[in-house]
């Protein structure tokens, strides 16, 4: 059934009305989940502060103690930029409380294969799932072939995407309002 150039869009369809009568509240229209359509490369921070794997544990402790604006967690990279691990302020505090920090290299202290990572083509939803399952606040994004660090996705990046999607949705103007004024 064609209704001409104007299409009437109701905020609630017959299906949502049926659901509402059964006691389930529908807060809005069905929509697209931006986490499933955006990619990690679209929201990652590509300029990432890192620490070298050749830095000593003592230097890392001094770095975290001296830097007021230091991040809570840093990716650790080798000489060619391949991700070796992550080091946190909590790690540095634990090392300082230990019997002897010594000259252990950062790359030796943090290198482990269980680092949660993502790739540029992963959906943001997949990155969010990794964050939830590993309780990680930041996910390094690496090249799938070389392992080189390309960027970092933090929880705040997920929140910014959600806010941008919500703002875009709220700023939409009804299509028919302008068309009806012209008639």
Answer for the pair 153, 138: CB distance below 8 angstroms, yes or no. yes
Q: What is the mean pLDDT of residues 80-86?
A: 93
Q: What is the mean pLDDT of residues 102-128?
A: 88
- How many CB atoms lie under 10 A from the CB of residue 46? 11
Residue 182: pLDDT above 90?
no
Quick: pLDDT tens for 11-70.
Answer: 556 666 777 677 766 665 566 778 888 999 999 999 999 999 999 888 888 888 886 767
Answer for the pair 64, 57: CB distance below 8 angstroms, yes or no. no
47: CB partners within 8 A, 6+ apart: none
Rounded to 10°, the helix 89-97/57-66 angle is 120
Residue 145 exposed, middle or buried by CB count within 10 Å (0-12, 13-18, 19+): exposed
Q: What pLDDT sits at residue 150? A: 97
Answer for the pair 78, 155: CB distance below 8 angstroms, yes or no. no
Nearest to 90 by CA among 71, 116, 76, 68: 71
Range scoring the smallest mean pLDDT among 33-37, 130-134, 172-176: 172-176
Instruction: Give the position of tokens 């028919």.
Output: 176
Residue 155: pLDDT above 60?
yes
Residue 80: pLDDT above 70?
yes
Instruction: Give the position of tokens 């090249």.
Output: 143
Q: What pLDDT sits at residue 57? A: 86
Structure tokens at 31: 């929509």
Instruction: Considering only residues 113 and 76, tell me which one the structure prediction assigns the higher pLDDT.
Output: 76
For 18, the 3-state DSSP assignment is helix
Q: What is the mean pLDDT of residues 160-182?
A: 64
Q: What pLDDT sits at residue 105? A: 87
Could you tell me the domains of the chain? 36-162 (3.10.580.10)
Q: What pLDDT sits at residue 5? A: 52
Instruction: Give the position of tokens 């103690």.
Output: 65
């Amino acid at each position: 059934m064609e209704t001409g150039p104007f299409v009437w869009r109701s905020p609630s369809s017959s299906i949502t009305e049926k659901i509402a009568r059964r006691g389930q509240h529908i807060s809005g229209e069905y929509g697209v989940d931006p986490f499933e359509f955006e990619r990690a490369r679209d929201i990652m921070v590509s300029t990432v502060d890192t620490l070298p794997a050749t830095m000593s544990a003592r230097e890392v402790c001094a770095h975290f103690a001296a830097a007021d604006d230091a991040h809570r967690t840093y990716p650790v990279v080798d000489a060619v930029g391949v991700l070796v691990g992550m080091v946190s302020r909590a790690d540095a505090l634990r090392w300082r409380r230990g019997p002897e920090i010594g000259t252990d290299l950062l790359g030796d202290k943090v290198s482990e294969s269980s680092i949660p990572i993502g790739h540029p083509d992963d959906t943001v939803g997949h990155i969010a799932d990794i964050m939830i399952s590993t309780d990680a606040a930041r996910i390094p994004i690496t090249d799938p072939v070389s392992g080189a660090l390309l960027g970092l996705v933090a929880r705040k990046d997920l929140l910014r995407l959600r806010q941008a999607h919500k703002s875009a949705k709220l700023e939409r103007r009804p299509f028919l309002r302008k068309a009806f004024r012209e008639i």
